[in-house]
Amino acid sequence: MKKPTVKKPNVSNDPEETKKWVNRTLERIHRKMIELFGVDFTYFSDIKIIKQSDILKQLTQRIQNDLKEKGVLYSEIQWKQICESLSKNQVTGFFENLAFYNPKDDVLYMNEKMIINYPEKIIPVCTHELSEKLLSTYLPSPLKTPIRALVEAYIEAKKTNNTRKLYELLNTHTDIIFKSVFKEGFCEAIALQTLRHIDSEMKVASLEKELQIGHSKCIDLLFDLDNAKKNVESVEKRQRTQPVNEKKLIEEILKISQTIKGLSYYLGYPLAKAVVERYGIKGAKLALKKCPPLKAQYFANPQAYLTELEKLKTFEEQRR
C-alpha cells in the first residue's frame, strides 16, 4: 500500500487558504502520531499566522503572564530593559523559521515570513510543535524556559542586591538550557520518526542530514556554556576580593543561551535520537525527568550518556 505523502505547499497570497492547507496536513500528521506512539493527545484549538514583529511581543508576554501567575510583578521600566536585552541577543534569522505552540491558549502561532520565504519548512517545523504537544501529555508541568529563568535571575539579583543569589540562579539557568536542548531534540526525534511514516525516506533523510551537519558545526557552543558556568563558579569564589561586573556576566550567558536556543534542534537531535532508539519514547521521557544530560560531552558523545543511564538501577526499573 502506498504511503500518504506530504505534498509541497502551493502557498497562495491568501493567508486563510494557507492556514486551511496547514491545518489539513497537520491533522493528518496528528492522527499518525497517535497511531505510532499510542498517545492520545488533542490537536491545536487554532492556528494563527502572525507577523514577525509580533512574535517577540508574544513570547515576552507569555513570560510576563507566567510570572504574574506566581505573584511576581515588575515595573514597566524593568520590562522595557528585559525586552531590549532579549531583542539585542536574538540569533540572526531565528524568528524567520519559527512556529510555536502556546499551551495557555492551545494555539499554534506561525511566522508569516516563513510561509512566504521558506514554504518547504512549514511542515517539519509545525510537526515539531505537534511533538511538543504530545510531550506535554508526559510532562504536565512544562519545563521552565531558559529565557524566563534568566529574567528571574536578573530581576532577583537587582531586587535583593544579593550577588551570591545571582550565581546560584545562573548555575540553575545553565542546567535549564541543557534540559531544554535535550527536550527540543526529543521533539525533533518524534517529528522525524512521524514524517518518516507519511513522507518519503529520501525527504526525511535530507532533513536528518541537515540536523547532523548543523550539530557538528555548532556543538562547541555547548562546551562554551560549560565554560561559562565554570566562569560563574570562579567569579563567585573571587567576589570577596575583586569587583564583579554582574551585567557583563549576565549578558555573556544570555548571548550564549539565546544562540543555543536558536540551534537547539541541531544540538539536541543526535542524543535524543539515540535515547529514543534505545529506550523508546517512555524511556526518553523518564531520562528527561529523572536524569537529564547536563554536560556538553553527552551531546557530543551520546554513547557516554547511554552508559550513564545504564548504570542507574532506578532508571531501568521505572522504564519497564
Give pLDDT tens digits for 259-289.
Answer: 787 788 899 999 999 999 998 888 888 888 8
Q: What is the mean pLDDT of residues 120-137?
A: 90
- Of residues 155 and 120, which shows the higher confidence score? 120
pLDDT tens-place string over residues 283-297: 888 888 888 999 999
Q: Is the pLDDT of residue 302 over 90?
A: yes
In a domain, 119, yes or no: yes
pLDDT tens-place string over residues 234-249: 665 655 555 556 667 6
Closest CA to 272 of 205, 169, 191: 191
Q: Is the pLDDT of residue 117 over 70?
A: yes
Tell me the residue length of the chain. Answer: 320
Closest CA to 157 of 246, 56, 260: 246
In a domain, 63, yes or no: yes
DSSP letter for 108, please: E
Q: Is the pLDDT of residue 210 over 70?
A: yes
Residue 298's pLDDT is 96
Alpha-carbon Rg for the chain in angstroms: 20
What residues contact 122, with CB distance under 8 A and at least 6 apart? 9, 22, 99, 110, 114, 115
Q: What is the mean pLDDT of residues 83-100?
A: 59
In a domain, 7, yes or no: no
Least confident of 93-102, 120-129, 153-162: 153-162
Would you state the cell numbers that stand for residue 204, as one nine-digit string?
526525511
Highest mean pLDDT (candidates 2-11, 121-130, 196-205): 121-130
19 backbone dihedrals φ, ψ, rounded to 5° = -60, -40
Would you state the cell numbers that stand for residue 116, as one nine-digit string?
512566504
Q: What is the mean pLDDT of residues 214-229?
A: 87
Residue given cell 565554560 in the structure block: 227
The proportion of the chain whose per-residue pLDDT surpasses 90, expressed as a percent, equals 28
Q: Give the residues across from 102 on adjacent strands.
A: 107
Q: How far apart are CA 164 and CA 167, in angstroms?
A: 5
DSSP letter for 141, please: S
Would you state the cell numbers that stand for residue 270, as one nine-digit string?
543526535
Q: Is the pLDDT of residue 134 over 60?
A: yes
Closest CA to 232 of 168, 159, 144: 168
Range of the domain at 80: 15-319
The proportion of the chain whose per-residue pLDDT surpasses 70, expressed as a percent, equals 64
Rounded to the nearest integer, the mean pLDDT of the chain is 78
In a domain, 204, yes or no: yes
Angle between helices 246-262 and 76-88 (to 10 degrees): 60
Highest mean pLDDT (candidates 48-57, 67-76, 99-108, 136-145): 99-108
134 backbone dihedrals φ, ψ, rounded to 5° = -60, -45
Q: Is the pLDDT of residue 55 over 60?
A: yes
pLDDT band for 119, please (50, 70, 90 cuts). Answer: confident
- Of residues 232 and 300, which shows the higher confidence score? 300
Q: Is the pLDDT of residue 54 over 80?
A: no
**Domain count of the chain?**
1
In a domain, 234, yes or no: yes
Q: Amino acid letter at 48?
A: K
In a domain, 197, yes or no: yes
102 backbone dihedrals φ, ψ, rounded to 5° = -105, 110
Residue 170's pLDDT is 72
Q: What is the mean pLDDT of residues 204-233?
A: 86
Q: Is the pLDDT of residue 88 over 60?
A: no
In a domain, 9, yes or no: no
In a domain, 132, yes or no: yes
Q: How far apart are CA 84 and CA 238, in angstroms?
A: 30
Helix segments in the chain, DSSP class H? 15-37, 52-69, 76-88, 112-117, 122-138, 146-160, 163-198, 201-218, 220-238, 246-262, 264-290, 296-300, 302-311, 313-319
